[in-house]
Amino acid sequence: MFWRLFATYLILVFTAVGLVGVLVFRRHDTVLLELADDVAVAGALVVVLAAVPAYVMARRFARPLGDLTTGASRLAEGDLGHVIRVVGSREHAGLAAAFNAMSGKLAATFAQLAHDREQLRAILSGMVEGVVAIDPDQRVMFANARAGALLEFDPGVAVGRRLWEVARQRGFQEIVEKGLGGTAEHRDELDWKGPVGRSLTVYVSRLPGPAAAGAVVVVHDTTELRRLERLRQDFVANVSHELKTPLAVISSTVEALLDGAADDPDTCTAFLARVGDESARLMDLIQDLLSLARVESGELGLEPEPVPLDRAIADCLERHAHRAEAKTMTLVEKPPADGPVAALADPGALRQVLDNLVDNAIKYTPNGGRITIRWSAAGGQVYLEVQDTGIGISEADQLRIFERFYRADKARSRDAGGTGLGLAIVKHLVQAMRGTVRVSSKLGAGTTFRITLPRAGG
């Protein structure tokens, strides 16, 4: 730019001098002709002298333009917010000011876009659903950490690769292809087969824009929901069965009495005793269902207070002494050697926990067995164990015995009585009192339930 301006100024000077020379020689004036040499020298001197101001003027005009060009290049390279400082004419200064204003606005716009992008990434990364964005060729453009956990791939290396390369399950790929092939959102269920089996719900939504703009795949883990649904179904089925069994016995017994069995005193007495037993069983079931419902809903209204364990355990064993004597069992207390211990617990809830555990121990311990209750304290906790020498529980069943209506030995459990809700109630009551309950057992070698509760004053 500078040299073009400089050359332009010189050409103008040459042109002016040349025009003067032409006019001189066209006049054919003797005096002027005699002065031709002097005119030529003067013209040359004028050209030389004009070069200096031409150089200065060209430099002053071209330098601000060069600064603007450099600033534009830096802006194009990503140096947003770059300020151009121009010393020159008012026009140059105005152009530089407009350029700086544009640069500032671009910097603010790009900063806002970067902030919004990072905020969006933070939101997507914190979602409990997996989110994957893919282009028309199913190349991954974005994947959050949850998507990687659910679909078993590394989001850090998935970007740029095809989705079927990182999530290698045919069922999932078919759902994505259906979503890309349609116009509306596509939803489908998937049983994910892997090291950790899951139930997934997959949503595929086309991205706005051209017909082939890609899609967003949202994956929701419904494993826990499906498990709870199965538990609900099992609960309804078990309650129906447990209610139907005593009602069926009562109904058939009453029919037999009406058909003439009532006329035989011995038969009538036996039938009425059966009706009484089944009615008591039905009442126990209803009471346990109500207790469990209150505990799970948090409406039980527990009021923790210091409860001396020696007294609570002695009362429990006294309540069950006659049943233990009927089976020639031995009930043993093992208090701590360092003196009385008190738990911070609700008295009624603790009584129900102890009764359920001791009742279970008596049911599943053969005649002549032994039931031992020991307790101790350490730090801010009290530890309570109910140990029996009964039939024991298999390792597989130990994982489920705290579920509602679960019975390790279904046939024997029904013969022994009980509703199948006792241990579920124990677990919920102990947790409501800020404690824990665990079980250890071996088939044929007895079972031990261990409870931890807060210590009063600990």
CA distances from 228 to 53, 225, 233, 250 (A): 92, 5, 9, 33
Q: Which domains, ranges and CATH numbers included, belong to the chain?
A: 2-112 (no CATH), 128-221 (3.30.450.20), 226-297 (1.10.287.130), 305-454 (3.30.565.10)
Work out the number of other CB atoms within 10 angstroms of the CB of residue 342.
Answer: 19
The residue assigned the tokens 């210091």 is 306
Distance CA 115, CA 119 (A): 6
- What is the CB-side half-sphere exposure of residue 132 using CA atoms within 13 A? 35
Q: Which residue has the higher pLDDT, 411 or 425?
A: 425
Backbone phi, psi, residue 193, to 5°: -100, 120
Q: What is the dihedral of CA 82, 83, 87, 92, to 10 degrees?
A: 90
Distance CA 65, CA 92 (A): 8
Backbone phi, psi, residue 351, to 5°: -60, -45
Distance CA 262, CA 251 (A): 14
Q: What pLDDT score was predicted for residue 451?
A: 92
Among 173-177, 186-190, 319-323, 404-408, which stretch is predicted with the lowest mean pLDDT? 404-408
Determine the residue type at 257.
Answer: L
Q: What pLDDT score was predicted for residue 412?
A: 46
Question: pLDDT tens-digit profile of 39-49?
Answer: 556 556 655 55
Which band of pLDDT confidence, cut at 50, 70 and 90, is reported for residue 454?
A: very high
Residue pair 175/204 in contact (Cβ under 8 Å)? The answer is yes
Q: What pLDDT score was predicted for residue 273?
A: 85
Question: pLDDT tens-digit profile of 51-108?
Answer: 556 555 555 665 666 667 777 777 777 676 667 666 666 666 677 777 777 777 777 7
pTM of the model: 0.52
The residue assigned the tokens 């006329």 is 263
Distance CA 267, CA 249 (A): 15
Question: pLDDT tens-digit profile of 276-306?
Answer: 878 877 887 777 777 777 776 666 677 889 9
Q: Which helix (DSSP H) or strand (DSSP E) does residue 76 occupy? A: helix 36-76
Which band of pLDDT confidence, cut at 50, 70 and 90, is reported for residue 437?
A: very high
Which residues touch 6 (CB under 8 Å, ≥6 apart)? Answer: 54, 55, 58
Question: pLDDT tens-digit profile of 357-396?
Answer: 998 889 888 898 999 999 998 888 999 999 998 888 888 7
CA distances from 403 to 228, 231, 238, 395, 406 (A): 12, 9, 12, 15, 6
Among 146-150, 234-238, 421-425, which stretch is predicted with the lowest mean pLDDT? 234-238
Q: Which residue has the higher pLDDT, 423 or 261?
A: 423
List the beta bridge partners of residue 103.
none
Distance CA 451, CA 386 (A): 9
For the chain, what percent of residues have pLDDT higher than 90?
10
Question: pLDDT tens-digit profile of 161-171?
Answer: 888 888 888 88
Question: Residue 453: is its pLDDT beyond 90?
Answer: yes
Distance CA 49, CA 258 (A): 141
Q: What pLDDT score was predicted for residue 120?
A: 63
Q: Where are the beta strands (DSSP E) in 33-149?
A: 130-134, 140-143
Q: What pLDDT score was predicted for residue 213?
A: 73
Copy the structure tokens of residue 239: 């309650």
Mean pLDDT score of the chain: 77
279: region left, alpha or beta (phi > 0 left; psi from -120 to 50 alpha):
alpha
Q: Which helix (DSSP H) or strand (DSSP E) does residue 4 occupy? A: helix 2-27
Average pLDDT of 142-157?
Answer: 84
Which residues touch 147 (CB under 8 Å, ≥6 apart)? Answer: 130, 131, 132, 155, 217, 219
The residue assigned the tokens 């151009």 is 84
Question: Residue 13: is its pLDDT beyond 60?
Answer: no
Distance CA 86, CA 95 (A): 9
Distance CA 327, CA 411 (A): 20
Question: pLDDT tens-digit profile of 96-143?
Answer: 777 777 777 777 777 777 666 666 666 666 667 888 888 888 888 888
Question: Residue 265: is its pLDDT beyond 70?
Answer: yes
